[in-house]
RNA sequence: CGGAGUGUGGCCUAGCUGGCUAGGGCGCAUGGUUUGGGACCAUGAGAUCCAGGGUUCGAAUCCCUGCACUCCGACCA
């Protein structure tokens, strides 16, 4: 992509009100635009990052049997009344959706009320189970107080996976597979080192649920980490847990602030009961389907990566989610840099090409802010030596690389 | 939802104990100079000072109401 063609621009300034670090960098860099509190547009650069994250999640969930669908945002509130969640949430964070001809719909804030009746249409026998259904789709939550940039929004994308089982044991087994899968996702997204499996309150159906918490001061949760087991417990169950690691009993836990990037939850029959989602077992008995649900907020994950990976100049994207792999900077209006750009494109390398006619200082500053992993600089100086300058975003120093050898770097 | 703060050209802001044509920076346009860490000079365009009401000879400035945004707390299926 030629940077001169991007309709967005970087900005040197951001409102003094915007104290959240992820919001500052993402807005200045032209990744997102805030429409109103907790409601953001993904701009071309930001949407590329978003899609990389989405794809990491999709591949990982597919690998544990997830079948991707796309469920609607609109839902008759009848469904929500069936589960009792309408009464609880209609006066709170549940958006109602009305028009002249539609008087009784809501905007889904999660999709149990859609996916459960959906599966009822297809599940009859134990032989139809288990099933794993997910989508990556908008959620609407009328938060009283959106905060921390894109970490807590009123409209956001979420991967929500729902699993359907004949038995509790089968759910438990799958639940463990999802744990591993989530760990892979956060590792691939570049925050594996800072992310902890965390015991949290489980509601009425199991002793605990599990969250994936990433250490950052921007987080809203306090977790207590057991360094032996590399797990944590959420402060909300600390007293239950008597300040001990649930896995090894270690009572020397350290407190950290963290943000919840993922959550896995055993639902039991909470949603299958109201929708009469059942199956017939081998002995011809009618039994309720056992469910689990598993969520990851996409924007929250994106914002968390920024919170975890940046320096004073800007974002340092992990290669797996960077908007472009290479930021090519020409310090000279020259056919040579066009040629290098085209060679990189031909080799299938994602490259953002700063072909703008502006000062080199501005280009460097933008490159630092935007945070692509690799930088290639083409200038008169480098071309005299038949070379370009190659620099990683994570490193201060650069090296000269012969033009002919550029592609070898990326093999 | 409780508490605190803030709304000024496209963006960031100064002005806020009322007083001349609302000042600056960024960005934008035109011309010139410059070219390895956010260049410089000149000229120019661009403003219902969040909205409505009130006080006053006079309101961006004071008062009331509403809306929006930010932060702290509560909440977080």
Nucleotide nearest to A146 (CA to C1'): B70
Domain CATH number, residue A167: 3.30.930.10
Q: Which residue is it, tokens 């509130």?
A: A77
Residue nearest to nucleotide B34 (CA to C1'): A359
**Do A32 and A48 contact (CB within 8 A), yes or no?**
no
**In this predicted model, what pLDDT tens digit does every residue of A129-152 receive, in sequence order?**
999 999 999 999 999 999 999 999
User: What residue spans of A200-334 are helical by DSSP H?
Assistant: 298-308
Q: Is the pLDDT of residue A333 over 70?
A: no
Q: Are residues A284 and A365 in the same domain?
A: no
Is there a single domain that holds both residue A164 and residue A68? Answer: yes
Residues A304 and A329 in one domain: no
Q: Which of A283, A311, A339 is the last residue of a domain?
A: A311
Single residue among A311, A341, A370 that ends a domain in this structure = A311
Cα separation, A147 vs A20, in Å, equals 8
Predicted local confidence at residue A335, as pLDDT: 87
Residues A192 and A223 in one domain: yes
A91 part of a folded domain? no
Give residue A87's region: left, alpha or beta (phi > 0; psi -120 to 50).
Answer: alpha
Provide the pLDDT confidence category of residue A204 given band limits of 50, 70 and 90.
low
A260 nearest nucleotide via C1' and CA: B76
A185 is a domain residue = yes
At residue A312, the pLDDT reads 94
Residue A90, pLDDT above cutoff 80: yes
Q: Measured in angstroms, what separates residue A396's CA from nucleotide B49's C1'?
A: 45
Output the distance from A35 CA to B22 C1' rounded to whole Å. 28
pLDDT at A206 over 70: yes
Are A277 and A357 in a shared domain? no
Q: Is residue A159 part of a domain?
A: yes
ipTM of the complex: 0.94
pLDDT tens column, A12-23: 999 988 889 999
Does A230 lie in the same domain as A336?
no
Model pLDDT for residues A247-290, shown as the tens digit of each residue: 999 999 999 999 999 999 999 999 999 999 999 999 999 999 99
Q: Which nucleotides of B are covered by protein (CB under 7 A)?
A: 1-2, 5-6, 11-13, 25-27, 34-39, 68-77
Q: Which of A254, A280, A311 is the last residue in one of the domains?
A: A311
**Domain holding A357: CATH number?**
3.40.50.800
| A189 pLDDT more than 70 | yes
**Cis previous bond, A130, omega within 30:** yes
Q: Are both A298 and A386 inside the same structural domain? A: no
Domain span including residue A366: 324-409
Distance A358 CA to B30 C1' (A): 17
User: Tens of pLDDT along A42-79?
Assistant: 999 999 999 999 999 999 999 999 999 999 999 999 99
pLDDT given at position A375: 97
Are residues A307 and A363 part of one domain?
no
> A304 and A167: one domain?
yes
Nucleotide nearest A200, CA–C1', reads B76
- For residue A238, what pLDDT is reported? 85
Confidence of residue A369 (pLDDT cuts 50, 70, 90): very high
- Smallest CA–C1' distance to B38, residue: A362
Q: Is residue A205 predicted with pLDDT exceeding 80?
A: no
C-beta of residue A278 within 8 angstroms of C-beta of residue A287: yes
CA of A139 to C1' of B28 (A): 38
**A348 is a domain residue:** yes
Share of chain A above pLDDT 70, in %: 99
How far is it, in rounded angstroms, from Cα A274 to Cα A270?
7
Distance A226 CA to B56 C1' (A): 67
**In angstroms, how far is B76 C1' from A207 CA?**
19
Nearest nt (C1') to A23 (CA)?
Answer: B70
What is the number of structural domains in chain A? 2
Question: Is A85 within the bounds of a domain?
Answer: no
Residue A69 maps to a domain: yes
Q: How far is the CA of A16 from the C1' of B50 (A)?
A: 18
Q: Which class for A68: exposed (0-12), middle (13-18), buried (19 or more C-beta within 10 A)? A: middle
Burial class (CB in 10 A: 0-12, 13-18, 19+), A254: exposed
> Stated in angstroms, how far is A18 CA from B14 C1'?
19
Judge if A238 and A159 occupy the same domain: yes
User: Taking the C1' atom of B75, which residue's CA lies nearest?
Assistant: A144
The order of strands in the sheet holding A95-97 is A74-76, A105-107, A95-97
A35 in the same domain as A162: yes
Any domain includes A80: no
In a shared domain, residues A236 and A369? no
- The answer to whether position A95 is within a domain reads no
């Amino acid at each position: 992509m030629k940077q001169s063609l991007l309709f967005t621009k970087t900005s040197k300034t951001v409102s003094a009100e915007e104290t959240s670090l992820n919001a500052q960098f993402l807005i200045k860099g032209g990744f997102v635009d805030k429409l109103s509190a907790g409601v953001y547009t993904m701009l071309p650069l930001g949407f590329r990052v978003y899609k990389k994250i989405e794809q990491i999640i999709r591949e990982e969930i597919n690998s544990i049997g997830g079948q991707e669908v796309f469920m609607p945002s609109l839902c008759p509130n009848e469904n929500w009344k069936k589960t009792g969640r309408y009464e609880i949430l209609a006066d709170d964070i549940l958006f109602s959706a009305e028009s002249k001809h539609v008087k009784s719909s809501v905007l889904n804030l999660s999709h149990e009320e859609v996916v459960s009746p959906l599966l009822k249409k297809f599940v009859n026998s134990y032989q139809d189970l288990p099933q794993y259904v997910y989508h990556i789709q908008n959620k609407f939550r009328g938060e009283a107080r959106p905060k921390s940039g894109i970490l807590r929004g009123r409209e956001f994308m979420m991967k929500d996976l729902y699993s359907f089982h004949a038995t509790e044991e089968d759910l438990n087994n799958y639940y463990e597979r999802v744990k591993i899968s989530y760990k892979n996702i956060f590792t691939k997204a570049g925050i594996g080192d800072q992310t902890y499996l965390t015991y949290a309150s489980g509601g009425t159906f199991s002793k605990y649920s599990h969250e994936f918490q990433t250490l950052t001061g921007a987080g809203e949760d306090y977790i207590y980490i057991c360094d032996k087991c590399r797990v944590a417990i959420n402060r909300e169950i600390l007293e239950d847990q008597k300040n001990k690691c649930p896995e090894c009993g270690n009572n020397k836990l350290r407190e950290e602030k963290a943000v919840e990037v993922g959550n896995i939850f055993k639902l039991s029959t909470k949603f299958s009961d109201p929708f009469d989602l059942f199956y017939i077992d081998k002995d011809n008995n009618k039994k309720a389907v056992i469910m689990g649900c598993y969520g990851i907020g996409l924007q929250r994950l994106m914002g968390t990566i920024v919170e975890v990976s940046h320096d004073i100049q800007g974002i340092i994207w992990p290669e797996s989610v960077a908007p472009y792999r290479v930021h090519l900077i020409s310090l000279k209006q020259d056919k040579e840099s066009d040629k290098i750009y085209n060679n990189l494109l031909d080799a299938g390398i994602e490259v953002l090409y700063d072909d703008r006619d502006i000062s080199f200082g501005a280009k460097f500053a933008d490159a630092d802010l935007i945070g692509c992993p690799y930088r290639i600089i083409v200038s008169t100086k480098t071309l005299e030596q038949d070379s370009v300058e190659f620099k990683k975003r994570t490193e201060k120093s650069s090296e000269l690389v012969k033009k002919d050898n550029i592609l070898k770097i990326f093999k």
